[in-house]
Amino acid sequence: MQIIQTIQALETERHQWHGSVGFVPTMGFLHEGHLSLFQKARSAHTILVASIFVNPTQFGPHEDLARYPRNLARDLQLLEAVGVDVVFTPSASEMYPEAFMTFVEPGGVLANQGEGAARPGHFRGVATVVLKLFSLIQPHSAYFGQKDAQQVAVIQRMVKDLNLPVTIQVGSTIRENDGLAMSSRNSYLTPPQRHAATILYQALQAGRKLFESDPTTDTRLVLQAMQTVIAQEPLARLEYIELRHAETFLSLERLQAPALLLLAVSIGATRLIDNFIYRTHGSWDTGQVLYSSSETNI
């Protein structure tokens, strides 16, 4: 497995690749959700590339850039074990040299509602770094997780609008046995907070079951029922619960596919997001439980 730290070295190496290239961008501190994407990509491509880069431009001024969890040595061991060929680990100054001034600015409801409203400038940073990585690595396919559903939609829109020659593959949310979506930020949670964090999954399940009992149910009633679930947990502070179109992120008054039932909740100082997706064939993708809680501390 090659570890590359500079753009010049990556460009030199890229000329030597033959066959299809799969790419999984990450910010490191890997968990089974990330690894499921690498496993999916490994089976489909000749060359498998990972990036580990905590992207400063997608963090707000009061967010957790400085304390975002990092463990590069552990990440590299995990990536080698799943068969990654190349890992790109640039510094911030390598990706954003002095006088850098060109950014990708996603627009409309897709980028300005939900996470876009909660984290102004977040998707500007995401789109910019992903476009740079696509330009450098030139993958045939890139792999993202469904947990970050709005990020996926923003990237898919960017790829379409800018005619980028890459296919976006989306892997299901990977969950612990009590339903909590795996996330690098889960490491912030104390044991009581970790227990409380399951309230996100419980609320999503409550909303799904109401829609399954009657797909014509008024969305407002479903969201109110989910809010009631969240309110039962004293450590939880609700930011939003929404039903949105999975591609445009327009709000939906009635359930229609493809739709996202999504929410953001803070448990203490830790902000968590999660979602279920309602597919075109009328079924829900609620994610995949792979491991018991004692086995997920990777």
Enumerate the active-site residues.
34
58 is in an annotated binding site: yes
**Of residues 93, 144, 147, 179, the one with CA closest to residue 264:** 147
Is 287 labeled as ligand-binding?
no
Q: What is the CA radius of gyration of the chain?
A: 19
Is 151 marked within a binding site? yes
Cβ 130 vs Cβ 258: under 8 Å: no
Inter-axis angle of helices 7-14 and 122-137, nearest 10? 40
- Has 29 been labeled as part of a binding site? yes
Q: Is 28 annotated as a binding residue?
A: yes
Quick one: tokens of 242?
Answer: 């929404």
Q: Is 146 annotated as a binding residue?
A: yes
How many whole angstroms separate alpha carbon 298 and alpha carbon 116? Answer: 30
Does 31 carry a binding-site annotation? yes
**Residue 226 is assigned to a ligand binding site:** no
Q: Was 168 annotated as part of a binding site?
A: no
Count of H-run helices and E-run strands, the chain: 11, 12
247 DSSP β-pair partners:
none
Q: How far is CA 168 from the centre of its chain?
A: 13
Q: Which residues contact 11 (CB under 8 A, 6 or more apart)?
A: 136
Q: Is residue 174 a known part of a binding site?
A: yes
Answer yes or no: is 32 a known binding residue.
Answer: yes
Question: Binding site annotation covers 27?
Answer: yes
**Cβ-contact 175, 287 below 8 angstroms:** yes
CB 193 within 8 A of CB 236: no
Q: Which residues are annotated as a binding site for beta-alanine?
A: 58
Binding-site entries for ATP: 27-34, 145-148, 174, 182-185
Binding-site annotation: residue ranges:
27-34, 58, 145-148, 151, 174, 182-185
* Binding annotation for (R)-pantoate: 58, 151
